[in-house]
Amino acid sequence: MNEIRHNWTAEEIIAIYNRPLMDLLYEAATVHRKYHDPNTVQVSTLLSVKTGGCSEDCCYCSQSARYHTEVEIEPMMSLSQVKAQALRAKASGSSRVCMGAAWRNVKDGPEFEQVLEMVRTINKLDMEVCCTLGMLTENQAKRLSEAGLYAYNHNLDTSEDYYQEIVTTRSYEDRLKTIENIRKTSITVCSGGIIGMGEALEDRAKMLVALSTLDPQPESVPINALVPIEGTPLEELPPVDIWEMVRMIATARIVMPQSQVRLSAGRMNMSREGQALCFFAGANSIFAGDKLLTTPNPDIKEDMHMLEVLGMRTQKPFEKHPQPTTVEAADSKIPALGEKPKWSRPQKVKSEQ
Ligand code: SF4
């Protein structure tokens, strides 16, 4: 029972999602206990190392240059700023630092070299380091791996069918190709999605099909609740109901038993009781810090207090996978190829939101 399956269908997943809640919770918690310590949560800190001015049109994002939001374009963070923030995160109990840059795709050059140096620096602090930098070639993935990157985040966001309603500047296939490039290295894959963007239950199920049929399944699966941002096309959408979040997490846990399921954006609108139910349903990671890239997030002290009240411990770095070795820039065996990959630009017309 509960072997890892890579052939889930949308119908099966919908049936799981719609089970009576107590049955769903019971099964998810049982699977969770089989593969994970149910009293351990990983705390990760998200740092926006390059904020705003993004050329993409992701409807949920405050950093797209196409929308009038309150986010200001900021220059890239310096290495010393990143190191100081990572040390602060470590001292607060975070085991992972996730660095995000508002880029369509990674371009070889000084900025990417700086990110590689940030990866080396954080790995040498004995913290797991993750990046989310947009689309990535195989050569760039190998260079990140050589620098000591532990994980790469590249969300599928939603189903392939609904994706074109949310993003028109790149295709689902590009997302999968980047994940494939990461899989050619020892970097672990972090990929999940967002609920509450106006999608149907079928889209949520199809996204879980796309993730769970990857072989291997992503080591980490963030489940985000949309945080509607003023100025974006999704600004008017209502908040996600906690029961939908609990059901989504429980379903993800059942179909991807080994993955670390991340209770990600949207926690500001959740009570501690709601979050505790998400942990019971199989979530075993949260993002800490007062901001998730640019959206508000609970204070880490409050999170630590919540975990203490629940009798949960924080996961130490490298409990799930070994620490990568860092190769210094001067010793690198993988030169930048300066490629100019042709990632797609579907520019399909969006239907009315
Ligand atoms: S989600 Fe990422 S790629 Fe999309 S607009 Fe925001 S920063 Fe750009």
* Whole-number pLDDT of residue 295: 63
Tell me the pLDDT of the chain averaged across its residues: 91
Is 319 among the domain residues?
A: no
* Substitution candidate for ligand 1 out of 64, 156, 167 with most atoms within 8 A of CB: 64
Domain count, the chain: 1
Atom from ligand 1 closest to the CA of residue 101: 7
Higher pLDDT, 344 or 50: 50
| Mean pLDDT of the region 85-96 | 91
* Whole-number pLDDT of residue 23: 98
Residues tagged in the binding site annotation for [2Fe-2S] cluster: 98, 130, 190, 262
pTM of the model: 0.92
* Whole-number pLDDT of residue 349: 46
Nearest CA to ligand 1 atom 7: 102
**Which residue pairs from 68-75 have beta carbons closer than 8 angstroms and sit at least 24 positions apart in sequence?**
68/231, 69/229, 69/230, 69/231, 69/232, 70/230, 70/231, 71/294, 74/48, 74/50, 75/50
For residue 289, CA distances in Å to 39, 112, 296, 297, 300 come to 21, 24, 9, 6, 5
Is 212 among the domain residues?
A: yes
| Mean pLDDT of the region 76-90 | 93
| Mean pLDDT of the region 37-58 | 91
Is 232 among the domain residues?
A: yes
Is 174 among the domain residues?
A: yes
Angle at 186 between CA 183 and CA 189, to 5 degrees: 50
- Kindly report which listed range (97-106, 149-158, 306-315, 340-349) carries the lowest average pLDDT score: 340-349
Is 19 among the domain residues?
A: yes
We report the CATH number of the domain holding residue 274 as 3.20.20.70
351 pLDDT band, cuts 50/70/90, is very low
Q: What percentage of the chain reaches a pLDDT higher than 90?
A: 76
* Whole-number pLDDT of residue 348: 52
- Kindly report which listed range (9-13, 106-110, 295-299, 301-305) carries the lowest average pLDDT score: 295-299
3 state SS for the chain:
CCCCCCCCCHHHHHHHHCCCHHHHHHHHHHHHHHHCCCCEEEEEEEEEEECCCECCCCCCCCCECCCCCCCCCCCCCCHHHHHHHHHHHHHHCCCEEEEEECCCECCCCHHHHHHHHHHHHHHCCCCEEEEECCECCHHHHHHHHHHCCCEEECCCECCHHHHHHHCCCCCHHHHHHHHHHHHCCCCEEECCEEECCCCCHHHHHHHHHHHHCCCCCCCEEEEEECCCCCCCCCCCCCCCCHHHHHHHHHHHHHHCCCCEEEECCCHHHCCHHHHHHHHHCCEEEEEECCEECCEECCCHHHHHHHHHHCCCEECCCCCCCCCCCCCCHHHCCCCCCCCCCCCCCCCCCCCCC
Range of the domain at 195: 10-313
Pocket of ligand 1, beta carbon within 6 A: 54, 56, 58, 61, 63-64, 102, 134
Atom from ligand 1 closest to the CA of residue 62: 6
Is 137 among the domain residues?
A: yes
- Kindly report which listed range (104-113, 175-184, 221-230, 291-300) carries the lowest average pLDDT score: 291-300
Q: Are 45 and 286 spatial neighbours (Cβ–Cβ below 8 Å)?
A: no
**CA–CA separation, 173 and 170 (whole Å):** 8
Residue 204 CA to ligand 1 centre (angstroms):
20
* Whole-number pLDDT of residue 299: 77
352 pLDDT band, cuts 50/70/90, is very low
Is 40 among the domain residues?
A: yes
Is 330 among the domain residues?
A: no
Residue 104 CA to ligand 1 centre (angstroms):
7
